[in-house]
Amino acid sequence: MMFKLYLLLLNLSITISLFAQNQLISPFLGDVTPNQPATNYLMQQPETADVEYVNLNLNTLNNATNLQLKFDNLNYTVTNDSIALQGPQNYTWFGTNTTGDGYIIISVLGDDVQGIIRKGLETYELLTTAASQRKVIVKIDQSQYQQELCEFDSAIIDKTQENNGEELTNKSILKKALDTGCPIRVLVMYTPAAEADITGGGVMISDIKNAIQNTVEEMNNTFKESEITNYPAVEIALIQKWDYEEFSEFSDTIMVTDMAVDLNIFKEDSYVNRLRNDYDADFCTLIAAGSDFYGFCGVANDLRATTSTAYCLVANNCMRRNLSFAHELGHLLSAHHDVANARNEPFPYAHGYIYFPGRWRTIMSYNSLPCDSTRENRCARLPFWSNPDVNHPTDNVPMGTDSLENNARVLRDYNNNLAGIEQPENNITLSNSTYHSTNNIFTNLEIKQTITTNGNVVVQDDACFYLKAGESVNLNNGFESKPKADVEITIQQIEDCQ
């Protein structure tokens, strides 16, 4: 009897030990009083439904095939899929829910750990507080987000001449993901207000570069899951602070803001456009103040963008949680809103999709009737583009229609057009005027022949500096790389996007 009891206890001990080795996220049961400022900041956000402090064991990523997540009264398993390494202490990890109803993407940059968790209709954000680097999961109520601003529906521009006389027809019948193609390169600028919002005035460690990288990683995952591309569709060319204060003025004691004004100033700025040209960026995104400031989550300059109109602005609190970064890129690639909120340009099938029985909608759709902002009737925005050839992972219904709701088709067809807007330069010299040592935090430069530095070019701690050249990279005596900087130099053939 004692022998059987000993074996039972031994088996229980082994089971608990193995469970602990696989436990990626679990509730934190200690004192969170030092984190009260972070709690107050997070709960002040209209879209925050709840916060929960957790333990995060990143060591499990090295030794477990399946990982356990326990939070918000949930206890479920994810697969350990892959890790994308960007540099020392700079990586992104991907895990998929074994039930097929979502995923988790965690991005690590030094001490800052951020992530997005999708589980069914729910969205959670993983963040790191400044006090003891405590990890916290924020449950998001998407119904509290304002919609994106639509600036082009009232007057769709005739672009026949801008498209070399070719009419806006779409003859593609391709129904599967593109295996090859050019990545769309993005120049991302952010304002001081966006940076301050993301750190909560200092109560969060959150690094805006890490938030942007995590957002782009998830956006690329949406292209894959919706069978648009089998390769990362979007590539960051540059992340840099733009010293700009968002427009506001008082009218009869009421503060008036205008997202479209800020977008236009961004679009016309000579320095922004110089960077765009130097860093071969096909489109430009400004991460700015929050949706509580603007009253909207984002705005795109155009539907089916050209060289002169490939610009968008996104409110910092909407870019990841509400998928607004992806939404605005969708407009630049010809995708439109749901049928109730969009005309049939540029194509009648270019709309987002709403499935009210399941209470969900795709990236381009608004929370439109019969959905509304109530908890009972809200339709969650899922990380999918409308596509009649892809079924919802658990409802098992098509996520679009051939005639009206097929964003995937227009994104496939216009992908290389947008990716070919800017082509790599032959040669470039990096100096203080083209590389801002203080504000530049992520550089991914591709040049056909030679890259040369001139003057004091300093890569700061935690900055990423990736140079690819077809012939040579010449670093002068004024070049300096701080100890914690991530510098990578590659010689490889660089060609135009065809």
Q: What is the pLDDT of residue 172?
A: 55
| 332 has a pLDDT exceeding 50 | yes
Q: What is the mean pLDDT of residues 305-334?
A: 96
Residues 6 or more apart whose CB falls under 8 angstroms from that of 250 comprise: 256
The span from the first CA to the last CA of the chain, in angstroms, equals 76
Query: Which pair of structure tokens corresponds to residue 133?
Result: 């680097």
Q: Could you tell me what percent of the chain has a pLDDT over 90?
A: 73
Report whether the peptide linkage leading into residue 346 is cis, meaning its omega lies within 30 degrees of zero.
yes
Q: pLDDT band at residue 155, thresholds of 50, 70 and 90? A: very low
361-373 pLDDT tens trace: 999 999 988 888 8
Radius of gyration of the chain (CA): 23
More confident residue, 415 or 168: 415
Q: pLDDT band at residue 253, thresholds of 50, 70 and 90? A: low
Q: pLDDT band at residue 173, thresholds of 50, 70 and 90? A: low
Q: What is the pLDDT of residue 239?
A: 96
CA quadruple 189, 225, 301, 291: dihedral, nearest 10: -60
Q: pLDDT band at residue 7, thresholds of 50, 70 and 90? A: very low
Q: What is the pLDDT of residue 252?
A: 62
Q: What is the pLDDT of residue 286?
A: 98
Q: What is the pLDDT of residue 20?
A: 64
Q: What angle do CA 88, 91, 97 make, to 5 degrees?
A: 155
Q: What is the pLDDT of residue 4?
A: 47
Distance CA 410, CA 408 (A): 6
| 126 has a pLDDT exceeding 90 | yes
| 279 has a pLDDT exceeding 80 | yes
Q: What is the pLDDT of residue 373?
A: 80
Could you tell me which of 328, 352, 330 has the C-alpha nearest to residue 339? 352
Which residues lie across from 186 on neighbouring strands?
A: 236, 283
Which residues lie across from 443 on neighbouring strands?
A: 238, 465
Could you tell me which of 270, 257, 264 has the C-alpha nearest to residue 286? 264
Range of lowest pLDDT (14-23, 391-400, 484-493): 14-23
Q: Could you tell me what percent of the chain has a pLDDT over 70?
A: 90
Q: pLDDT band at residue 165, thresholds of 50, 70 and 90? A: very low
More confident residue, 374 or 88: 374
Residue 342 DSSP SS3: coil
Distance CA 335, CA 341 (A): 12
Distance CA 435, CA 480 (A): 13
Q: What is the pLDDT of residue 152?
A: 65
Range of lowest pLDDT (81-90, 162-171, 232-241, 248-257): 162-171
Could you tell me which of 377, 238, 363, 352 has the C-alpha nearest to residue 297? 363
Q: What is the mean pLDDT of residues 11-25?
A: 61
| 61 has a pLDDT exceeding 50 | yes
Which residues lie across from 271 on neighbouring strands?
A: none
**Which segments of 99-254 does DSSP mark as H helices, in order?**
192-199, 208-225
Beta strand 387-391 with 66-71: parallel, antiparallel or unpaired? unpaired
Rama region for 359: left / alpha / beta (φ>0; ψ in -120 to 50; rest):
left
Q: What is the mean pLDDT of residues 164-187?
A: 71
Give residue for tokens 């591709």.
Answer: 446
Q: What is the pLDDT of residue 290?
A: 96
Q: What is the pLDDT of residue 174?
A: 63
Per the prediction, the chain carries an average pLDDT of 89
Report whether the peptide linkage leading into residue 483 is cis, meaning its omega lies within 30 degrees of zero.
no
Q: What is the pLDDT of residue 372?
A: 84
Q: What is the pLDDT of residue 268?
A: 97
Query: Which pair of structure tokens corresponds to residue 63?
Result: 């030794």
Q: What is the pLDDT of residue 63?
A: 86
pTM of the model as a whole: 0.91
| 12 has a pLDDT exceeding 70 | no
Could you tell me which of 159, 180, 184, 182 has the C-alpha nearest to residue 169? 159
| 136 has a pLDDT exceeding 80 | yes
Q: What is the pLDDT of residue 368?
A: 87
